[in-house]
Structure 1
Amino acid sequence: MGVLSHLQVVEIGSSAATSYCARLFADFGADVQKVEPPTGDPLRRTAPVTPGGQSAWFAFLNFNKSSNIIDATDPDAIARLTTLIENCDILIDGRDVGSADCPSVDIAAIRQRRPGLTYLEASWFGREGPYAGFVATDSTVRALAGLVKLAGPVQGPPLHAPDFQTGILAGLWGFIAVASSAVARMQGGAGRSWSLSIFESSLAVSEYLIFEAFARGDVMHRIGTNRFWPGFPVGIYKTKRGWLGVTTWTPAQWRAFCDMLGLSELRDDPALVLAEDRLQHMEHIERQFIPKLRERTAQDWFEEGLKRKIPIVPVPEISDLLRDTEKKARGAIVPVLLGEEKGLTAGSMQRLTLTQPRRGGKVPSPGEQQAFANERTHLTGTALTSSGCIDADSQPLQGIRVIDFSMGWAGPLCTRTLGDLGADVIKIEAIQYPDWFRGVDRSPAYLDDHLYEKAMCYCIMNRNKRGITLDLTRPQGLILAKRLIVGADIVVSNYSVDVLPKLGLGYDVLRTLNRRLVMMSMSAFGADSVHRDCRAYGSTLEQGSGLPSVIGDPDGPPVMSHVAFGDAVGGLNGCVAVLVALIHARNTGQGQFIDLAQIECMMPFAAPWITVGSIGGMSPKRYGNRHPQFVPHGCFRCTGEDNWIMVAATDEDMWQRLAILIGRPDWGADPSLKSAEARRAVEDDIERGIAAWTRIRDADEAMSELQAAKVAAGVARMPNDLFKDRHLASRAFLQEVERAFVGLHPQPSMPIREGAGPYAIRTAAPTLGQHNRDILSGLLGLSDTEIAQLAREGIIGMAMLSEESWHKQRRCRQTNRHYSPERPAPQHL
């Protein structure tokens, strides 16, 4: 019986975001009832399709659900739907994206009668704001979210990824909202009502670049396919056989990369030590290492890179994923039945080891009910008829404690989200090894100017947390960490898989201290992977996921779409995983270990092509900026330098409105151009017509005119443009927060809301060791004398240790001599 088998979920409307949210519940045993019109959810006709004509995208979103056909024209349609909703725990509503001819029901009245109902409503842009009435597609939303303009060649239009990204990202956020409500319901009280903005959900991937632009100014521009600010090389390169994903950030990785290729001149050039400096010499560097890479295969280089601890990985084709026995064994690729066709798709990436998700399943035919061996009971015996109301000041995860051993982006995003939802998150760093998002520079100037406290990316990822420093390599620090864990609900780590176990903080130890503890390891490949020791960044995860193989022009290389796509995706999947495990722990008192492989979390973006390839053996067709269904569809130049707009016609009526707007009413009236496939024969001509119209217009002006005609369009924004975005401003998405060393600075809100405004950000990111005294004294009961002694011994502190002091401390410890940091103890408290 699944972890969530006590829940009944009803899904209405047609939206990839709400479908994926509901599928995540089905993965863990919930009874999901999908409501469709007699013609079926329009997503059933979404490309790519299998040889048997089944939508591979719909299959990925909907296996293990049941289908209910409700015809809105039937006299009893409203009564049937109302009854279905009144008997469920969770209602997931995508009607604002696509109504799917769903009967109109009074949700407010149902919630009055059923205060225990949790409700999630998704929309492209939210109910209020300048974009609220916009028609949209996956690509136009990604363009507005800053996820298009930085990818692709320097000249010509940006080159963006195929559809499905916004639905997956928003689906994860939707699940986080609803699952956190389930946690809160277990403490009693009523259900909650959430709104989900698909546009704002996509900003989780843009955040890093948005706020680096705030800190550094307008320093980003498109620098070429598979090239990204702020470092180099971060891209995909051809080898003797296959493509290789390369990422070198640190000076040590760069030196190792050059040594591997026998390029000592590049290695020893002082102008190329830093990744950002190498951006200024890209052509010179590539001329030397590209020929070297072609001397051996991608697999050869990968094995060599493992020995040298370089983040490089073969870039798989879809056919390579289908042959990957490890991903099948781990449940990242699972069997799926689509009618009479048997295929494979992406499974659940939330790898709970005790209460595992379903491994594959059947896609329901229209109207088909699927029976699972679950005894269904509601969340609590009385909650369904509770007359209580939501406490607007009570966040769903209040009372949950999280110990955060994560650094960088993925882990901190996971724990930040838990903190945003009310959890008490205690972030553990060390003055010897602080979060690397603070910077890895240990020079006197960097330390004296406290630049490690001014890193914007650190500030963004670590708000709503308390911070403590503990040297976990020493017994006193380890004992204090264990004492914190005894009183915790969740532990999150994105260190390499062996780091915490070697320190004595592995799950086998911690579960003896706290049996209800949920512990998650967020490694790149998974704790039991043959590649568990591979170094990886968010870019590595994208390179190795299969996604680049479906992006780009038919005759071009695999294409990356972001500098660190995998980090944000891993963080959101991690949050989903710990919430599921937390529900189980609250129900049973039993915790568990979660082995999250971040590279697997990227695989849903390639899921439809996995299915099509598994059934027909077909290689994915790459469309560039075009689309398998929508004609026209592309990125078109506007006035000014490097200004672009994404435009799509999603149906015949939209095509006719577009044709009239651009001055070609003859196209709109031509019966031979009614279908998308007919228009594909003259797609070049249509694109030239659109380009002539957009070329003489400002991008925002063009978007306004197109949207006034109800044509899907979105300006291709740069990350720094989003600070001035009128829609985000109207929704108070950016909140101003005061912090030491930084002052007043903006913070992004969550894309999930319980009211008109966002959840308020309670506290800024902690300075190093800011809450040492609060936690050590308030939680663990240490005296002032004991705390002062910890500071004198360098086990805690409030200042990043210099390289010289760090080495001095190590030498002193090795000779068992007393060590005292350079700064006096009071400044560390």
Structure 2
Amino acid sequence: MGVLSHLRIVEIGSSAATSYCARLFADFGADVQKVEPPAGDPLRRSAPLAPSGQSAFFAFLNYNKSSIIIDDKDPNAITQLRTLIEDCDILVDGRDVESADCPLIDIAEIRKRRPKLIYLEASMFGREGPYAEFAATDSTVRALAGLIKLVGPVEGPPLHAPDFQTGIVAGLWGFIAAASSALAQVQGGAGRSWSLSIFEANLALSEYHMFEAFAAGNVMRRIGINRFWPGSGPTGIYETKKGWLGVTIGTPTQWRAFCDMLDLSELRDNLVLVLPENPPPDMEQIERQFMPRLKARTAREWFAEGLKRKIPIIPVPEMPDLLQDAEKKERGAIVPVLLGEEEGLTAGSVQRLTLTPPRRGGRVPAPGEQQAFANTRTHLTGTASASSGCLDANREPLQGIRVIDFSMGWAGPLCTRTLADLGADVIKIEAIQYPDWWRGVDRRSAYVDGLMYEKTMRFCTMNRNKRGITLDLKRARGLALAKRLLAGADIVVDNYSVDVLPKLGLGYDVLGTLNPRLVMMSMSAFGADSRYRDCRAYGSTLEQGSGLPSVIGNPGGPPVMSHIAFGDAVGGLNGCAAVLVALIHARTTGQGQFIDLAQIECMIPFAAPWITIHSIGGMPPTRYGDRHPQFVPHGCFRCAGEDNWIMVAATDADMWQRLAILIGRPDWATDTSLKSAEARRLVEDVIEADIAAWTLTRDADEAMSELQAAKIAAGVARLPTDLLKDRHLRSRAFLQQIERPFVGLHPQPSMPIREGAGPYAIRTAAPTLGQHNGEILSGLLGLSDAEIAELAKEGIIGTAMLSEGELAKIKKMSSA
């Protein structure tokens, strides 16, 4: 029996986002009833297909669910569907993406009778705005979201990753919305109604570049396969004597260790490479010096060497490597899945709750098949009181939840930012000796004295709606104050290396005794019990080690990364989902627990279809470049002007005919031999040449307007900076203007989940260093002004970052 076994979920319509959202509930025991038409969910026909013809992507999205067939032509169809919905706790609706012949039903009328019902409705772009009626695919959405243009060779075309990304990211956001509502109901709240924009959900992956561009004022550009703007520090995939090696160098210490490892003393002190405040280096020249040396040893050998030197490097696995990884199976990152009579493997739940773990794999339901799971749901029917409905109307779902945030960078802060956006009181703990490294890693006096650490947009973006305090946890008084805060908290989140908090005396063995209802999550790169637990990692390391690069790129080419720090945002969203599940359990039972979230495992779902195909048939994944396993044509085509591109896809025969007519080939539209995608693939080069000739004469936005007017899936390949003035985002008030000291008025992204027409308001800007020391120490812990002043005098708290020289002086004094 799972922690969510008291919930019944009904899933209608067809979209990867809503399917994944519902499956996350099934992972923890919820009874998920998937409504399908007699022909089945269209996603059952999504490539890649197993030898039996079953969709590997559908399998990943839907194991452990039940299936109910409702024929919209049946006179009783509406009654059947209404009865099903009225008996559920959460309705997940993907009809706006693909109706899947779902009978028309009045959700608003049902919610009047069932005010406890939680409702989540997904759409590609939201119900309003210039893009609202756009025909779209996964790749056209990612093109518009700034996630394609920066990837690939300098000359183009931009390279897109396989079409299984937007639904996974958006599904996580949908789950966060619905799970936070379920948590609010534990405390007596009414139901909530959410809308989810799949496009806006995926901006979580591009917002880092988006706001760095706002701060720097530069226009990013594509600088080559496995290279990322602005190119400071080697971040990419490199060939070795055997296998490929992922490398990410982000600090001066790592750069020096990397040079020492390769015996490159002449480069060792060239810190222009790793300080982002400096101009971009000539990475091609730098790579020419170290790439030949990497070929002297295997990827595995370099990895072992990197572990000793604390360098973020990792072997880049192929599919067989993933399937043979015993640790991935032991931890539940790769699990068995049954597709009819075929037994395969797929990506498992990555929300590794240790007390109430998720299911490990399962069966994909045949159309109409019910799966028997123990269910203890006890939802209350009838009407909620007027007071509870009014209360919810003025309260965020996580109001009253306290979070202690020990995280830095992107992944952990995104997790806690999302909790804060939903109403939690998040207290971010830094130290003047070691503040959040997204304030900057430059410790030179000019940087520190100029207060540059208060001016980084990346920090401001990830830490809004939080309160900030500084505590030196290496000093007894600082540690004692932290424990007092933790004693009254609901959640603690850290994304340090696995041993950092335990060595300080803040491990779960201590904190669980101090506060038995505390949910503690460690967001390490590989997991607390992993044999790689000591490996240093960034978001890029997680992508490099996930298996995803092995399925991206052109046939015969190298593995290709799709985003410089893809793993960070994905880890943050998965972390948020995990703590919400654990908190539901804690609020109903009084039991806290430890969550061992391995961020690298959070990336494996993006490779799930190829894991399944390879596990069943043993075939290596086909690399399609910008083409597609199902849609023909499909690609990124050059438009007029310099480096302007548009993603175009024909998803069915009717769309193909409209595209052929639009580009001036009506003969193709009437040619019955080209009706099927398989037939068009035989002449794909010719088709692409004609599309390219058509787009090349048009401005990218003009081409998109013409294509969308004909209901053809198309999206301009945007730069992240373009999103700051995107007309659709502007119409939906997605960017909110916030005032902050040292930065001034600046934009902040909204959450992609909404309860009304507008986004959740951003309440406060990111804290300055130690901004809320007095407020928290006096207001929560009852310290006097004199005690607080003494803490500041001793350097246990403070509001100014210490420079390299000041740190060295303190270390010298403490060792004397």
Q: Same fold (TM over 0.5)?
A: yes
Q: Distance in 2 between matches of 1:63 and 1:70?
A: 20
Aligned to 2:176: 176
CA displacement at 1:274 relative to structure 2: 3.7
Counterpart of 1:648 in structure 2 is 649
CA contact (8 A) 1:232 1:278 kept: no
How far residue 803 of structure 1 moved from its aligned partner, in angstroms, is 2.0
Does residue 1:627 correspond to 2:618, yes or no?
no
Determine whether 1:91 maps to 2:59: no
Q: Give the Cα–Cα distance (whole angstroms) in 2 for the partners of residues 446 and 383 of structure 1.
A: 61
Q: Distance in 1 between the 2:270 and 2:610 partners?
A: 43
Match of 2:215 in 1: 215
User: Quick one: distance in 1 between partners of 2:451 and 2:50?
Assistant: 57
C-alpha contact (below 8 Å) 1:639/1:699 kept by paired residues = yes
C-alpha deviations, 1:173-219, integer Å up to 9, x for none? Answer: 00000000011111113100000000000000001000000000124
CA positional deviation for 1:440? 1.4
1:392 Cα deviation after fit: 2.6
Paired residue for 1:826?
A: none
1:8-55 deviations in whole A, cap 9, x for unaligned? 000000000000000000000000000000000000000111111110
Paired residues of 2:246 and 2:544 also in contact (CA < 8 A): yes
- What's the CA shift string for 1:446-487, capped at 9, x where partnerless? 122211000000000000000000000000000000000010
SS at match of 2:266: helix
Q: Counterparts of 1:83 and 1:373 in 2: how far apart (Å)?
A: 21
List aligned pairs for 1:263-274, cutoff 5 A.
263-269=264-270, 272=273, 274=275
Corresponding residue for 1:348? 349
Q: Is the 8 A contact 2:337 2:362 kept in 1?
A: yes
CA distance in 2, matches of 1:278, 1:255: 19
Asked if structure 2 preserves the Cα contact closer than 8 Å seen for 1:144 and 1:714, the reply is yes
Residue of structure 2 equivalent to 1:542:
543
Q: How far is 1:384 from its partner?
A: 6.5
State how far apart, in whole Å, the 1-side matches of 2:580 and 2:11 are. 20
**Counterpart position of 1:203:** 203
Whether the 8 Å contact between 2:233 and 2:255 is mirrored in structure 1 is no
- Cα deviations by residue, 1:122-151 (Å, 9 ceiling, x for unpaired): 000000000000010000000000000000
In 1, distance between residues paired with 2:633 and 2:270?
49
State whether residues 551 and 621 of structure 2, in contact with CA within 8 Å, keep that contact through their aligned partners in structure 1.
yes
Matched, 1:66 2:69: no
Shift in Å, 1:376: 2.7
> Who is 1:713 aligned against?
714
Q: What is the CA–CA distance in structure 2 between the aligned matches of 1:376 and 1:574, rounded to whole Å? A: 25
Give the Cα–Cα distance (whole angstroms) in 2 for the partners of residues 62 and 355 of structure 1: 21
C-alpha deviations, 1:520-552, integer Å up to 9, x for none?
A: 000000000000000000000000000000000
Contact 2:233 2:274 (C-alpha < 8 Å) held by counterparts: no
Superposed CA offset, 1:221-265 (max 9, x none): 000000002323100011111110011111111111111111222
Alignment CA distance shift 1:110-1:383 (3 Å): closer
Distance 2:384 2:791 in 1: 53
Answer with 265-274 or 559-568: which moved more.
Answer: 265-274
Q: Is the 8 A contact 2:250 2:274 kept in 1?
A: no
- Letter aligned with residue 409 of structure 1: W
Alpha-carbon distance, 1:275 to partner? 6.2
Partner of residue 365, structure 1 = 366
Q: Deviations along 1:709-739, whole A, 9 cap, x unmatched?
A: 0000000000110011000000000000000
Deviations 1:600-643, CA, capped at 9 Å, x for gaps: 00000000000011011111011000001100000000010000
Query: What are the residue-to-residue correspondences of 1:777-796 with 2, within 5 Å?
Result: 777-796=778-797
Task: Give the match's secondary structure for 2:205.
Answer: helix
What does 1:108-119 align with in structure 2 at a 5 Å threshold? 108-119=108-119
Distance 1:639 1:62 in 2: 42
SS at match of 1:747: strand
For each residue in 1:578-602, what CA deviation from the matched residue of structure 2 results, as whole angstroms up to 9, or x when unmatched? 0000000001000000000000000
Is the deviation greater in 259-268 or in 8-17?
259-268
**Cross-structure match for 1:236:** 237
Check the 8 A contact 1:248/1:275 in 2, yes or no: no
- Name the residue aligned to 2:399: 398
Q: CA deviation at 1:374?
A: 2.9
RMSD of Structure 2 on Structure 1 (CA): 1.2
* Distance of 1:637 and 1:81 partners within structure 2: 46
Per-residue deviation, 1:386: 5.1
Distance apart, 1:810 and its partner CA: 3.0
Structure 1 spans left out of the alignment, 5+ residues: 816-829
Aligned-partner SS, 1:200: helix
Q: Distance between the aligned counterparts of 1:740 and 1:605, measured in 2? A: 39
Q: So what's the TM-score if we normalise by structure 1?
A: 0.97
Instruction: State, as a whole percentage, how many aligned pairs show the same letter.
Output: 80
Amino acid at match of 1:324: D
TM-score between the two structures when normalised by the length of structure 2:
0.98
How far, CA to CA, are the matches of 2:274 and 2:698 in structure 1? Answer: 43
Q: For residue 187 of structure 1, what is the amino acid of its counterpart?
A: Q
Contact persistence 2:121–2:196 (CA under 8 A) = yes
Is the aligned partner of 1:606 residue 2:607? yes
Q: Which amino acid aligns with 2:135?
A: V
| AA matched with 2:47 | A
d(CA) in 2 for partners of 1:276 and 1:146?
23
Contact 1:312 1:540 in 2 (8 A): yes
Q: What corresponds to 1:472 in structure 2?
A: 473
* Number of the residue aligned with 2:731: 730
* 558-567 vs 216-225, greater mean Cα deviation: 216-225
CA distance in 2, matches of 1:226, 1:475: 45
For 1:193, the aligned partner's letter is S
How many Å apart are 1:278 and its aligned residue?
Answer: 8.4
Query: What's 1:161 paired with?
Result: 161
In structure 1, what residue type is equivalent to 2:102?
C
Q: Indicate conservation of the 8 Å contact 1:183/1:396, yes or no.
A: yes
Cα drift, residue 74 of structure 1: 0.1
**Deviations along 1:546-594, whole A, 9 cap, x unmatched?**
0000000111000000110000000000000000000000010000000
Aligned match of 1:79: 79
Q: SS of the residue aligned with 2:760?
A: coil
- Mapped partners of 1:285, 1:417: distance in 2: 39
Larger mean CA deviation between 726-735 and 216-225 belongs to 216-225
With over 3 angstroms needed to count, the CA separation of the structure-2 counterparts of 1:76 and 1:49, relative to structure 1, is same
Q: Secondary structure, in 3 states, of the residue corresponding to 1:736?
A: strand
Runs of 4+ in 1 over 6 A off after TM superposition: none
**Cα distance in 2, alignment partners of residues 463 and 58 from structure 1:** 37
Q: Is the contact made by 1:349 and 1:573 (CA closer than 8 Å) also made in structure 2?
A: yes
Describe the shift of the 1:98–1:270 C-alpha distance in structure 2 as closer, same or farther (beyond 3 A).
Answer: closer
| Aligned residue runs from structure 1 range 176-195, under 5 A | 176-195=176-195
Task: Identify which range, 729-738 or 210-219, moves more after superposition.
Answer: 210-219
SS of the counterpart of 1:39? Answer: coil
**Shift of residue 805 of structure 1?**
2.1
* Residue 570 of structure 1: aligned partner: 571
Answer whether contact 1:124 1:199 (CA < 8 A) is retained.
Answer: yes
| Counterpart residue number, 1:812 | 813
Aligned residue pair count: 813
Give the match for residue 822 of structure 1.
none
Task: Label 1:26 to 1:270 Cα distance change in 2 as closer, same or farther (>3 A).
Answer: closer
Deviation, 1:272, is 4.5
**Residues 249, 275 of structure 1: 8 Å contact kept:** no
Which residue does 1:682 correspond to in 2? 683
Gaps of at least 5 residues in structure 2 are none
Q: Tell me, yes or no, if structure 1 residue 104 matches structure 2 residue 104.
A: yes
| Residue 803 (structure 2) pairs with residue 802 (structure 1) | yes
Residue 667 of structure 1 and its aligned partner are, at CA, apart by 0.4
